[in-house]
């Protein structure tokens, strides 16, 4: 009887250690690469940051975390704190700094992943009729499998004008690019199913 009890304790201890080992694997940083396309333009939301305009970006894509949609609201200014980089200086270029913003990824399973904009900028090339954007996004958790998620993503984007206003200023853009970075704390679908039972 004692032998059986000791054996059961051993099995229970091994199961716990295995479970903790699996959990630690999923707590590690997971590399992320996700491609997307969509649209960019002015937002009906006004972030009311002095000297800025508010933009909205709507994307759909796929990648390491599965198919997703993404909505980003951000404020940008043409009076950046830092001078533009050499790659965006010249008479045909306009440089914008992103000063505030946040976004939400929605995945096919209904899980949401939230991000805050920590830095970013756009370089508009008037001669080439396109702009390039790079943003740094801090993951701030989410719902379901992303409840405890953390990490950093970098958005790189190319925008091409689709529609101009009466003064011939581009106001609506076709966008494409990718998100890269790392995420940790993501729960597997199998683990979520076990939690529900």
> In a structure prediction context, what are the per-residue pLDDT tens digits for the chain, which is 197 residues long?
555 555 555 554 444 444 444 444 445 689 999 999 999 999 999 998 888 999 999 999 999 999 999 999 999 998 776 788 888 988 889 899 999 999 999 999 999 999 999 999 999 998 899 999 999 999 999 999 999 999 999 999 999 999 999 998 889 999 999 999 999 999 865 444 444 44
Question: Strands (DSSP E) along the chain, which ranges?
Answer: 30-42, 53-63, 68-77, 93-107, 112-125, 130-142, 150-164, 170-184
Tokens of 19: 């479970």
Q: 94 Cβ partners below 8 Å, 6+ apart?
A: 78, 123, 124, 126
Give the three-state DSSP class for 38.
Answer: strand
Q: pLDDT by residue (tens digit) across 140-152?
A: 999 999 999 999 9
Is the pTM value of this prediction over 0.85? no
């Amino acid at each position: 009887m004692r032998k059986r009890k000791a054996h059961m304790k051993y099995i229970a201890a091994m199961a716990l250690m295995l479970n903790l080992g699996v959990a630690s694997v999923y707590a590690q940083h997971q590399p992320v690469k996700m491609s997307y396309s969509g649209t960019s333009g002015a937002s009906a939301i006004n972030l009311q940051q002095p000297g800025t305009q508010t933009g909205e970006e709507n994307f759909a894509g796929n990648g390491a975390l599965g198919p997703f949609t993404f909505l980003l609201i951000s404020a940008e200014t043409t009076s950046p704190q830092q001078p533009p980089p050499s790659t965006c200086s010249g008479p045909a270029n306009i440089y914008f700094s992103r000063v505030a913003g946040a976004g939400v990824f929605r995945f096919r399973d209904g899980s949401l992943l939230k991000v805050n904009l920590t830095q970013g900028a756009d370089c508009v090339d008037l001669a080439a009729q396109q702009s390039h954007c790079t943003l740094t996004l801090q993951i701030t958790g989410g719902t379901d499998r992303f409840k405890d998620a953390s990490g950093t993503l970098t958005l790189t984007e190319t925008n091409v004008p689709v529609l101009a206003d009466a003064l011939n200023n581009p106001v609506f853009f076709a966008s494409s690019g990718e998100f890269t970075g790392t995420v940790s704390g993501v729960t597997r679908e199998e683990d979520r199913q076990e939690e529900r039972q």
